[in-house]
Amino acid sequence: MDISKNYLDNILPALKNAVIKSSSEISDIQKDDIALQYYVLKESNLISISSVSLIHINKQYIREGKIEVPELFTTVDMTEFVIQEQEEIQNKLILMRNILNREIPQVEISFDRCDMPYECEFKNYCWAHIPPVSVFNLSRLTKANKFKLYTQGIVNLKDLPKDYKLSAFQKAQVEAELSGNDVVDNNSLSRFLSEEINYPLYFLDFETFFTAIPRFNGIRPRQKIPFQYSLHIQHEDGKLEHFEYLADGKEDPRIKLLEQLKGEIEGKGSVVVFNKSFENGVFKKLAEDFPEHAEWINKVLGRIIDLAVPFQNFHYYCPTQKGKYSIKKVLPAITGKGYDNLEINNGGDASILYYNSHIANKEEVNDKLRQNMLNYCGLDTEAMVWIVDELRKLIK
């Protein structure tokens, strides 16, 4: 990390009596956290605290050259808040001690207890009585309504009252779950495949990483940096080509990624992605940061087709999806294939492994690691090819 030589002079005064968070704003959880830390230190009588501050990342900061530490962080005085919270913190600690000193409390599951502010580590234990498919799997039903059904004793989908108001999507899901049969809306699938998708098809997927402290010039904290893509091109005659890019980690990967992708994706035909908000966001930020590439990027944005739409709209649904329509759920449902045999089988792991090996030098970069990364991203786009092929078979 290229941080200016006066780093310690700049940051150490701010660290005195301060808590640092990598987030870009202050949350209620962090307020409770800093109030508890103040309580522990005050009660220990080890140090005297005159003021308390919380330092968090300034999300407006843009790196240009060396990291300017004072501009990277925002300092918020929390002294008055933590003093006011001390009685509440003490009461909470007493409650926690009482819980630890007795048998496991019999507490009913609920959204605020089980998932707020994070998912509870004991959730699987407390939810053991909930069947694999239940009202909690209903797509597009709010958590509040799911728990409302649960408190009324309605857990299984078969127990839903006949007059319970469901959307068309939810009705399709319930019918599929109860019958065990797939939902196939031939007319809607046919329209999607004939009117939305135009050959040649460019199946595209990006992988990105982000850091709280910007690694390269011109980027903000936590900005997504694309470091890899896979591109399968399917022609109308069935011919399939594959192109891919995986940055070496020695420099900002975005320019080389853009230059290579431009030559492979220019032309006509639909650019097919799965859940387009992600790829759209990556492209739009690249166009903003590299205006010399904005013209062709904007043309690509106009060609993007979201393959998730038929599944979001329940034009196809298989009970094994359990109300979800991510590509990890759709692929095995419609093709019988999946990601289980890959060394890397999710985007989060790919991002962390790339950062640790190629950027932070915490892991060795070797051919096996890079091939595993290529295999994962490559399957994301090949999976879309298979899914489109299967949809076409369904409507024949």
Residue 5 has pLDDT above 80, yes or no: no
Query: What is the reported pLDDT for 14?
Result: 46
Residue 8 has pLDDT above 90, yes or no: no
pLDDT in tens, 269-299: 999 999 999 999 999 999 999 999 999 999 9
Query: What is the reported pLDDT for 2?
Result: 41
Class of domain 187-394: alpha beta
CA distance 105 to 117: 20
Tokens of 83: 């003093």
DSSP state of 317: E
CA distance 173 to 139: 8
Are 232 and 267 a contacting pair, CB within 8 Å? no
pLDDT in tens, 309-348: 999 999 999 999 999 999 999 999 999 999 999 999 999 9
Tokens of 305: 């087709």
Query: What is the reported pLDDT for 129?
Result: 94
Query: What is the reported pLDDT for 17?
Result: 55
Query: What is the reported pLDDT for 19?
Result: 67
Query: pLDDT > 90: what percent of the chain?
Result: 81
pLDDT in tens, 58-91: 999 999 999 998 899 999 999 999 999 999 999 9
Distance separating the N- and C-terminal Cα atoms of the chain: 57
pLDDT in tens, 115-144: 888 899 989 999 999 999 999 999 999 999
More confident residue, 250 or 396: 250
pTM of the full structure: 0.88
Residue spans of the domains in the chain: they are 7-91, 111-165, 187-394
Q: pLDDT-derived band of residue 263, with 50, 70 and 90 as boundaries?
A: very high
